[in-house]
Structure formats: C-alpha cells, structure tokens
Amino acid sequence: ALSRAVIDLSNRPYSVIDLGLKREKIGDLSCEMIPHCLQSFAQGARVTLHVDCLRGENDHHRAESAFKALAIAVRQATTKVAGREGEIPSTKGTLSA
C-alpha cells in the first residue's frame, strides 16, 4: 500500500484522515479506531495532520503504510538541518499560534 502523511508542528490541532478502510476489523482491532488514533495524536500533539492512503487492496497493509508514512513525516519535521542552526522552520517565524 502507498500512503502519504503531512504534518505541520503548528500548535493548531487539526486532522484529515482518509485511509479508505473497507473492513470492520483488522484482527481484533476495530478499523474505526485507526483514524481515531491518528486524530487523537493530532489533538494531543497540537499538530495539523493529513494522512491519506493512495493505493492498496488489503486494509492491514493500508493501515500499516499510513503509520509508516506518519513516522517518516514526524522524523522529517523534527530533524535539525545542518547549516540552519537557530533558524525556525516556519514561514511565520514561529512554531506557536
């Protein structure tokens, strides 16, 4: 499956989650809990989060790819960039509201 996750460390909690899950459960996990978990993460972390599954047939693989995409997005958003020490990675000059 192929998923995309975009995160903004904005202090403005918001989320749009579209995984296209078709089944009621994956193993013992209710599929409705997966978007709920991602939405709760966005609220708790006070980030703006968009996660979409673009392709995939199997709900297990769709969910797995969404969490992997989120992990990559979080890592990229929180990694210091060499040569940009002291810069705030924001077009607004702040990471707070």
Residues in contact with 2: Cβ distance below 8 Å, sequence separation at least 6, in sequence order: 53, 54, 55, 56, 65
Q: Is 90 part of any domain?
A: no
Structural domain of residue 10, as residue ranges? 2-78
Position 75 pLDDT exceeds 90: yes
Report the domain count for the chain. 1
Q: Report whether 52 contacts 4 (CB < 8 A).
A: yes
Average pLDDT, integer, range 69-90: 87
Q: Is 12 part of any domain?
A: yes
Q: Is 15 part of any domain?
A: yes
CATH (domain of 19): 3.30.230.40
pLDDT digits (tens, 9 = 90+) for 21-59: 999 999 999 999 999 999 999 999 999 999 999 999 999
Q: Is 97 part of any domain?
A: no
pTM score: 0.88
